[in-house]
C-alpha cells in the first residue's frame, strides 16, 4: 500500500508539472504581464479552476469539515455565500480593475489616493501572507501528508522531524512553481489539480454514505438525515460557530474582500485575456462553489454519524473518515490530490507576494528605473526569501488550535480596513488620501483592541460570574462565552460602517481638489459577457433557495 501511495503521488505530481511546463514554455516571463499575469491570456476554464484550487487547502478541507462535525449544515455559509461574492466581483469590480489595467489591487489605490496608501496596503497584504497564511498552509498540509504516508514509521524518524521534512518538501516544490514558473504555471497546475480534487473530494462522501447505508448511497443519506435532522438546519442554532445573523453582517464583507480584493484570488481574474473571459471564469467558479459543501461540509456531517460524535477533536473528523471508508488502493491517489491542493494554496499566495513586492515596492521605491526583466528578477529573489521564512516559521505553529476559524478571525486585522478603502475609493470621487490612511490604521487598531483585549476581558468576566452562580455544565458555559461578546463577524461589520463614516466625514471636511476619474488603459478588451447579469441572478436565486429549503 505504501509503494502504491508513493507511486500514485509521484506520478500525478510529475504529470501536473510536465503539463504546466509545456503550457507555459511559450510565455514571455521576462515581462511583468508575462510573469505576474500569465501574459493576460487566461481563459474562463483556467481562471475557474485556479480560483477553486487557490481557495482550497488542508486548513479548509480539514477545518471546515471539522466545523460541520461540530455544528452541522450551518457552516456551509463559508461556501455558499462565496458564490454571491464572486457574482458581485464579476459584475461590479472586475470591469473597473481591467479598465484600469491593474496588475495588483493596491495599484488602484495609488491612482485613487496616493503611493503611500498603496505601499501601506501592499505591506499589510505581505505581512498577513508571511506571518499567517504561508506558515499555516505549510504546517497543516504537512500534518496531513505525514499522516497519510505515515512518514515517521516509513523513515523511522520522529513526528517532529517528519513534519519538518514535509514542510520543506512542500515549500521547495511550491516555490519552483510559483517563483520560477509565474502565474500561468500556477494557474495551469491549479486547473489540473482541480479536476483531481473534485473527483477525490466527491469520493469521500460517496464512500462515507455507503459505509453508513449498508452499501447504498441513498440509504446512507436517508440514515444521515433521519438520525439527526436538526443538524441539517441551514440557519443553525444559538451559540454555533456561524450564527445565521452573521450572514447579513460581517460574513458577506469577508466574502467580498476575499473574492473581490484579495490579491492571491483576484490575480487570476486580472490575468484574463478579456473582461468577458474573466467574468465567465468567476461565474463558473461561483457555480462550483455552490457544490462546495459536498466536499467541505457533508463529510464532516457523515463523520459525526459514523463515529457517533465520539472523536476527541472535531478536526480529526475528515482524516479519520478518509482512513475509515476510502478503499486502501485509492488512498495513494487521494493523497496526491490533497498534495495538489496544499501546493496550490502555497504557491498561489507566494506568487501573489512576489507580484506585490515586485510591482508595488521594488519598482516603486527601490529602483524606479528598473526594466521589467529586473523587476521580475528581484521579485523572484524576494519570493525565495519569503518561502524560506515561511518554512522556518511553519514548525512553530504546533498549538494553533482550530485553524480555520482562527484564520478567519486573524485576517480581519487587515481584510476589512483594506476592503473599506477600496469600496470608498470606487464609489466616491473626492475622499482624500489622508482619509484612506486613517481608515487603514483605525480599522486595524480598533479590531486588534476589540478581539485581543476587550473580548478576552469580557469573556473571562462572564465565565467567572457564571461559575460563581453555580453553572458547571460545559454546554451552558459555551453559551455564556458566546453571549459575552459580539461575534467577530459582527465586529467586522460595525468597524466597516464606522470606517466608512470616518472617511466620508474627512472627505466632507477636506475633499481632494480634483474629482477622481477612472481611465481606460486598453490592456484588454473590456466588452462584458453578454449574459453576466442573467447568470449572476440565477446563481444568487439558487443560493437563496438552498437556504430556504434547509431552513427549519
Where does the pLDDT of residue 211 fall: very low under 50, low under 70, confident under 90, or very high at 90 and above?
very high
What pTM, to 2 d.p., does this model score?
0.81
- Region for 101 from its dihedrals, namely left if φ exceeds 0, alpha if ψ lies in -120 to 50, beta otherwise: left
The mean pLDDT of 135-149, rounded to a whole number, is 78
Q: What is the DSSP letter of 215?
A: T
Where does the pLDDT of residue 43 fall: very low under 50, low under 70, confident under 90, or very high at 90 and above?
confident
Question: Which position has the higher pLDDT, 30 or 336?
Answer: 336
Phi, psi for 513 (deg, rounded to 5) = -65, -40
Nearest of 90, 27, 196 to residue 529 by alpha carbon: 90
Range with the poorest average pLDDT among 124-133, 154-163, 540-549: 124-133
Q: How far apart are CA 243 and CA 486, in angstroms?
A: 11
pLDDT at residue 177, as a whole number = 63
Q: What is the CA radius of gyration of the chain?
A: 23
Q: How far apart are CA 301 and CA 65, in angstroms?
A: 8
Question: Which position has the higher pLDDT, 73 or 106?
Answer: 73
pLDDT digits 0-9 by tens, 517-534: 877 777 778 889 999 999
Over 80: is that where the pLDDT of 397 sits?
no
Q: How far apart are CA 348 and CA 343, in angstroms?
A: 8
Q: How far apart are CA 295 and CA 341, in angstroms?
A: 13
pLDDT digits 0-9 by tens, 196-205: 777 878 889 9
Phi, psi for 272 (deg, rounded to 5) = -65, 145
pLDDT digits 0-9 by tens, 291-306: 889 999 999 999 999 9
Where does the pLDDT of residue 282 fall: very low under 50, low under 70, confident under 90, or very high at 90 and above?
very high
Question: Which class in CATH covers the domain with range 2-408+524-550?
Answer: mainly alpha
Contact 394, 163 (CB under 8 A): no
Residues 6+ apart with CB under 8 A from 243: 236, 487
Q: How far apart are CA 280 and CA 531, in angstroms?
A: 9
Phi, psi for 42 (deg, rounded to 5) = -75, 135
Domain boundaries, the chain: 2-408+524-550
Amino acid at each position: 500500500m505504501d509503494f502504491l501511495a508513493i507511486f500514485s503521488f509521484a506520478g500525478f505530481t510529475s504529470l501536473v508539472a510536465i503539463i504546466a511546463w509545456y503550457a507555459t514554455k511559450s510565455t514571455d516571463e521576462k515581462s511583468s504581464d508575462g510573469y505576474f499575469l500569465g501574459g493576460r491570456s487566461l481563459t474562463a476554464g483556467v481562471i475557474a479552476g485556479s480560483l477553486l484550487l487557490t481557495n482550497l487547502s488542508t486548513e479548509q478541507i480539514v477545518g471546515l469539515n471539522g466545523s460541520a462535525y461540530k455544528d452541522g449544515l450551518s457552516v456551509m455559509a463559508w461556501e455558499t455565500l462565496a458564490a454571491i461574492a464572486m457574482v458581485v466581483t464579476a459584475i461590479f469590480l472586475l470591469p473597473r480593475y481591467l479598465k484600469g489595467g491593474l496588475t495588483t489591487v493596491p495599484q488602484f489605490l495609488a491612482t485613487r489616493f496616493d503611493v503611500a496608501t498603496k505601499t501601506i496596503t501592499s505591506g499589510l497584504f505581505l505581512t498577513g501572507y508571511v506571518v499567517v497564511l504561508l506558515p499555516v498552509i505549510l504546517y497543516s498540509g504537512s500534518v496531513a501528508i505525514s499522516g497519510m504516508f505515515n512518514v515517521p514509521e516509513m523513515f523511522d524518524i520522529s513526528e517532529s522531524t517528519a513534519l519538518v521534512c514535509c514542510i520543506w518538501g512542500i515549500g521547495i516544490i511550491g516555490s519552483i512553481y510559483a517563483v520560477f514558473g509565474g502565474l500561468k504555471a500556477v494557474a495551469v497546475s491549479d486547473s489540473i489539480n482541480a479536476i483531481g480534487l473534485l473527483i477525490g473530494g466527491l469520493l469521500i462522501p460517496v464512500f462515507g454514505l455507503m459505509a453508513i447505508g449498508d452499501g447504498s448511497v441513498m440509504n446512507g443519506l436517508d440514515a444521515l438525515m433521519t438520525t439527526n435532522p436538526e443538524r441539517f438546519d441551514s440557519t443553525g442554532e444559538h451559540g454555533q460557530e456561524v450564527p445565521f445573523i452573521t450572514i447579513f453582517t460581517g460574513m458577506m464583507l469577508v466574502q467580498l474582500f476575499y473574492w473581490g480584493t484579495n490579491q492571491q484570488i483576484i490575480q487570476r481574474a486580472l490575468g484574463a485575456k478579456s473582461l468577458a473571459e474573466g467574468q465567465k471564469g468567476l461565474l463558473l467558479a461561483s457555480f462550483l462553489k455552490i457544490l462546495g459543501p459536498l466536499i467541505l461540509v457533508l463529510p464532516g456531517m457523515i463523520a459525526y454519524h459514523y463515529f457517533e460524535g465520539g472523536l476527541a477533536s472535531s478536526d480529526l473528523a475528515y482524516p479519520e473518515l478518509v482512513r475509515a471508508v476510502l478503499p486502501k488502493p485509492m488512498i495513494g491517489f487521494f493523497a496526491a490530490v490533497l498534495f495538489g491542493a496544499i501546493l496550490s494554496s502555497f504557491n498561489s499566495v507566494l506568487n501573489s507576494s512576489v507580484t506585490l513586492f515586485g510591482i508595488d515596492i521594488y519598482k516603486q521605491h527601490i529602483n524606479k528605473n528598473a526594466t521589467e526583466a529586473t523587476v521580475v528578477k528581484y521579485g523572484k529573489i524576494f519570493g525565495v526569501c519569503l518561502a524560506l521564512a515561511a518554512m522556518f516559521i511553519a514548525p512553530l505553529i504546533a498549538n494553533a488550535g482550530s485553524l480555520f476559524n482562527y484564520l478567519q478571525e486573524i485576517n480581519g486585522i487587515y481584510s476589512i480596513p483594506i476592503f473599506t478603502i477600496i469600496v470608498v475609493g470606487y464609489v466616491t470621487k473626492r475622499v482624500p488620501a489622508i482619509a484612506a490612511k486613517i481608515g487603514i490604521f483605525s480599522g486595524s487598531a480598533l479590531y486588534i483592541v476589540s478581539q485581543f483585549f476587550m473580548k478576552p476581558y469580557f469573556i473571562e468576566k462572564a465565565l467567572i460570574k457564571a461559575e460563581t452562580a453555580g453553572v458547571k455544565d460545559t454546554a451552558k458555559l459555551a453559551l455564556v462565552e458566546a453571549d459575552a461578546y459580539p461575534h467577530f463577524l459582527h465586529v467586522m461589520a460595525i468597524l466597516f460602517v464606522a470606517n466608512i463614516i470616518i472617511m466620508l466625514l474627512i472627505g466632507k471636511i477636506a475633499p481632494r481638489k480634483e474629482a477622481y476619474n477612472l481611465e481606460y488603459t486598453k490592456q484588454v478588451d473590456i466588452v462584458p459577457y453578454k449574459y453576466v447579469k442573467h447568470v449572476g441572478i440565477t446563481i444568487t436565486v439558487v443560493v437563496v433557495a438552498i437556504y430556504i429549503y434547509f431552513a427549519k
